[in-house]
């Protein structure tokens, strides 16, 4: 996947610099907090945030566990500039890179935990698989994965709300998420104990939190 091929944070709706304002409408404090809770960062952990965007989740994780090493990676220089601006205490290492090329960015079996939020729903199926395989490759044995993203839209209300996301990011890439494909794809990448542990309804559809591990 080339760096020109990624979908910007807000798709077709608005420039990426407005991402934080839009994300605030998705109950982000709740689902980001739950993501960190399920990640359970430990002292000494090396943690990678794939598609870190404007850095909110990476910074929250670094604040939750100051003795962890947190790396935020994103292909978009514009959102990374926002993230670096927020990181006034240099808590996070910020890298430019693609989610399907994590080995080039951080190396094989180098991370204790990998997380990602609101990324996979924007990707074609082949890229979803490639990103998950890349995440698996950089995790150490015993490592853990936490993904917060639009998942199975269980109700008519959530399916209707999710049309906002599909307007921004296109139906072709987003519909598999709405149909509940992510657990299957996560398992297919080699992860074990794949579970959907939270579902957070929002005005843009429901956001699911998935956890998994690497043996």
Mean pLDDT across the stretch 185-209?
A: 97
Percent of the chain with pLDDT strictly greater than 90: 87
Q: How confident is the model at residue 2 (pLDDT cuts 50, 70, 90)?
A: very low
* DSSP code of residue 205: B
* SS3 (DSSP) at 69: strand
* SS3 (DSSP) at 143: strand
pLDDT of res. 138: 98
Of 27-31, 34-38, 78-82, the range with the highest mean pLDDT is: 34-38
Q: Is the pLDDT of residue 105 over 50?
A: yes
Closest C-alpha to 151, from 127, 174, 125, 177: 177
Domains located in the chain, CATH noted = 16-213 (3.40.50.150)
Please tell me the distance from the alpha carbon of residue 97 to that of residue 94, in angstroms, as a whole number: 10
Mean pLDDT of the chain: 92
Percent of the chain with pLDDT strictly greater than 70: 89
pLDDT of res. 1: 47
Q: Is the pLDDT of residue 4 over 90?
A: no
Pair 149, 117: CB distance under 8 Å? yes
**Per-residue exposure over 17-43, b if at least 16 CB sit within 10 Å of its own CB, e if not:** eebbebbeebbbeebbebbbebbebee
pLDDT of res. 21: 72
Please tell me the distance from the alpha carbon of residue 159 to that of residue 179, in angstroms, as a whole number: 10
pLDDT tens digits, 5-18: 566 555 455 555 56
pLDDT tens digits, 171-192: 999 999 999 999 999 999 999 9
pLDDT tens digits, 130-154: 999 999 999 999 999 999 999 999 9
Cα–Cα distance list, 12 to 143, 165, 180 (Å)? 35, 10, 24
């Amino acid at each position: 996947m080339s760096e020109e091929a990624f979908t910007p944070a807000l798709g077709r709706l608005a420039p990426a610099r407005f991402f934080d304002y839009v994300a605030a409408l998705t109950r982000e404090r709740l689902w980001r907090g739950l993501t960190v809770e399920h990640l359970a960062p430990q002292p000494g952990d090396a943690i990678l945030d794939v598609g870190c965007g404007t850095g909110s989740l990476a910074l929250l994780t670094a604040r939750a566990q100051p003795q962890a090493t947190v790396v935020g990676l994103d292909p978009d220089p514009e959102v990374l500039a926002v993230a670096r601006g927020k990181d006034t205490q240099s808590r996070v290492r910020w890298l430019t890179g693609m989610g399907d090329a994590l080995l080039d960015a951080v190396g094989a079996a180098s991370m204790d935990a990998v997380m990602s939020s609101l990324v996979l729903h924007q990707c074609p199926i082949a890229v979803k698989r490639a990103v998950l395989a890349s995440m698996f490759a950089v995790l150490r044995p015993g490592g853990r994965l936490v993904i917060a993203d639009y998942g199975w839209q269980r109700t008519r209300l959530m399916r209707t709300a999710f049309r906002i996301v599909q307007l921004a990011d296109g139906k072709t890439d987003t519909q598999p998420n709405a149909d509940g494909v992510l657990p299957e794809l996560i398992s297919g990448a080699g992860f074990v104990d794949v579970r959907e542990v939270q579902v957070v309804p929002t005005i843009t559809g429901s956001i699911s939190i998935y956890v998994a591990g690497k043996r």
